[in-house]
Structure 1
Amino acid sequence: MKKPIFIGICGGTGSGKTTIVNKIYSEVPEKSIAIMEHDSYYKDQSSLTYEERCKTNYDHPFAFDTDLFVEHIKVLKEGKSINKPIYDYGIHNRKTETVAVEPREIIIVEGLLVFYEERIRDLLDIKIYVDTDADIRILRRIIRDINERARSLDSIINQYMNTVRPAHEQFIEPSKKYADIIVTEGGNNLVAIDLMVTKIRSLLNIEQLKEQQLD
């Protein structure tokens, strides 16, 4: 197999990154695509109590084990498999088990800060920034955190004002300048998603033709 094509998808919390990733994944043959979420690489915090882990600023670059994330991307680029961490939002810590990720022709690298970190940017072939208005993003975050993470409304608002919003303005929004493509309104922008799927399919076809010519 040729070296994978790495597609970075970045944007603020609630921007629609995951929706776009899932729609692309559903439109491309499963055997041809893998996903690397930066969120899976939050640092192991087993040495801290639950109360201490609750106080961690999860929107700051320091919260991520980016060294391991970069190392794993490089390993996949070499055509080798990796064991990706699994992060448990209920306990604010990694699980003991991991999940195997095999190298694929297309690898999507998704996360809040994947364009902020130069080491990650340098490993990406295509960079897509999901740009969604702040009021829509906070509403989506509220719905997600209440329904999926059993958070209270007060805790969501406090976290948003104290860490999420400042981090977005300091780290995420400025990284938009590194994008090759900017998609507005996240998963609602069906035209942009269709164009991305068409591009990915064309890349897959090109790689398959190259392999056939070499055989």
Structure 2
Amino acid sequence: MPHKLIKIKRVEDRGPTRPVMIAIAGDSAAGKTTLTAGLVTALGPERVTAICVDDYHRYDRVERRAQPFTALHPACNYVEIMEQHLQLLATGQPILKPVYDHGSGRLVRPELVEPREFVLVEGLLPLHTKLSRACFDLSIYLEPPEEIRHGWKVARDTEKRGYRPEAVLRELEAREPESAAYIRPQSALADVVVRFAPIAGRDDPPGTPLSAELVLRPSVQHPDLSRVLDNVERHAIHLKLTRDADGRPVDTLHVHGHARRDESSEVKKAIWAQLGMAAGDPPSTLGTFGAGQHSEPLAITQLLLLYHMLDATAEARMSS
């Protein structure tokens, strides 16, 4: 069983040369790149290698038009090569990664990628196979409501990729069967599921940031946030015991978009103090998205994930 062998090898290779591997999965325009960028900036690019597994597309945009599937289908991607490269990165070795240019839709010159202390892997299918999942210390799935994701995709593809709105909507419709079959099932396989959405039943004014809901599954040991949660305003953040999609009990962390800025700042400072990072306030770049827009729930979510990543690093050092 190759997926078990890679887990064994990663345990045997624990130490300063073995990176902490993080997967950030989700459908197109779910916010993966935004979440990843904030983590890279907070840790420092000298400590992080970030890659997108959508670079493993088998066909360019023109070639895909002749295929009976979309870019979401595993058959449209070199999944086996992705698995091999994730195994190499997970054991501290470099790769020659393919590159897909989303602007032109073409496959271009591959690039040398060397793993640093942290490797962030985002994309459509990083959790699709057992072997790829075995490479990660922490896996995250972004799950915004479909109507919100559709709006984000239309905005992104029209503003940044030159599509017309009707073409984006047609593409979303064509992709829906494969999204349901191959992308959304990864949600059940992730250690953390993040959902940015309005709070049901609230009539918040326009411009209120989306709230964040983090499902913290017991598939990994989550950092103890009790000291943080006991000392901050519950109006901004709170933890509840809820039921997962399979009916099992699970901790769910709620970060409220309607909270006052000073309440959210208190939460961020409390989490930052637990990270063991440099003194002072958390990076102001956390929570940034779009053209200079800001979301406190996004910033707090990124901080909580940083907490988890640094905790994984500490564990690796202790066991080496």
TM-score, normalised by the number of residues in structure 2 = 0.59
Output one character per residue of 1:18-58: Cα deviation in whole Å (capped at 9) or x when no partner. Answer: 1110111111132221112111111155xxxx744335411
Describe the shift of the 1:120–1:183 C-alpha distance in structure 2 as closer, same or farther (beyond 3 A): same
Describe the shift of the 1:146–1:72 C-alpha distance in structure 2 as closer, same or farther (beyond 3 A): same
C-alpha displacement of 1:122: 1.8
C-alpha displacement of 1:207: 4.8
Of the candidates 128, 139, 149, which is equivalent to residue 116 of structure 1? 128
**Aligned: 1:17 with 2:126:** no
Output one character per residue of 1:79-102: Cα deviation in whole Å (capped at 9) or x when no partner. Answer: 22112211123443311x222211
Look up the equivalent residue of 1:172 and give its one-letter code: I
**Aligned: 1:74 with 2:82:** no
Give the secondary structure class of the aligned counterpart of 1:166. helix
Q: Distance in 2 between matches of 1:52 and 1:76?
A: 29
Unaligned runs of 5+ in 1: none
Q: Distance in 2 between matches of 1:89 and 1:128?
A: 23
Q: Distance in 1 between matches of 2:37 and 2:62?
A: 33
Q: Which residue of 2 aligns with 1:168?
A: 179
Q: Structure 1 vs Structure 2: percent identity of aligned residues? A: 25
Equivalent positions of 1:11-160 (< 5 A) are 11-45=26-60, 51-56=62-67, 57-95=70-108, 97-160=109-172
**Aligned: 1:192 with 2:318:** no
Greater relative contact order (Cα 8 A, min sep 6): structure 1 or 2? Answer: 1
C-alpha displacement of 1:209: 6.7
Give the secondary structure class of the aligned counterpart of 1:84. strand
Larger radius of gyration: 2
Q: Which residue of 1 aligns with 2:4?
A: none
Give the secondary structure class of the aligned counterpart of 1:79. coil
Q: Distance in 2 between matches of 1:63 and 1:172?
A: 13
Give the secondary structure class of the aligned counterpart of 1:123. coil
Q: Distance in 2 between matches of 1:103 and 1:6?
A: 9
Moved more, 128-137 or 117-126: 117-126
Q: Which residue of 1 aligns with 2:206?
A: none
Describe the shift of the 1:3–1:64 C-alpha distance in structure 2 as closer, same or farther (beyond 3 A): same
Give the secondary structure class of the aligned counterpart of 2:139. strand
C-alpha displacement of 1:135: 0.8
Q: 8 Å contact 1:33–1:107 — kept in the other structure?
A: yes
Output one character per residue of 1:4-25: Cα deviation in whole Å (capped at 9) or x when no partner. Answer: 1211111122211111101111
Look up the equivalent residue of 1:196 and give its one-letter code: L
Give the secondary structure class of the aligned counterpart of 2:160. helix
C-alpha displacement of 1:117: 2.3
Moved more, 165-174 or 183-192: 183-192
Describe the shift of the 1:179–1:102 C-alpha distance in structure 2 as closer, same or farther (beyond 3 A): same
C-alpha displacement of 1:195: 0.6
Describe the shift of the 1:123–1:204 C-alpha distance in structure 2 as closer, same or farther (beyond 3 A): closer
Output one character per residue of 1:130-186: Cα deviation in whole Å (capped at 9) or x when no partner. Answer: 1101011011111111111111222111111012x2222111222211111111117
Describe the shift of the 1:51–1:43 C-alpha distance in structure 2 as closer, same or farther (beyond 3 A): closer
Describe the shift of the 1:131–1:53 C-alpha distance in structure 2 as closer, same or farther (beyond 3 A): closer
Unaligned runs of 5+ in 2: 1-15, 197-211, 213-286, 288-294
Describe the shift of the 1:14–1:44 C-alpha distance in structure 2 as closer, same or farther (beyond 3 A): closer
Moved more, 2-11 or 19-28: 2-11
Relative to its length, the structure with more helix (as a share) is 1
Describe the shift of the 1:80–1:172 C-alpha distance in structure 2 as closer, same or farther (beyond 3 A): same
Q: 8 Å contact 2:46–2:116 — kept in the other structure?
A: yes
Q: Distance in 2 between matches of 1:82 and 1:102?
A: 7
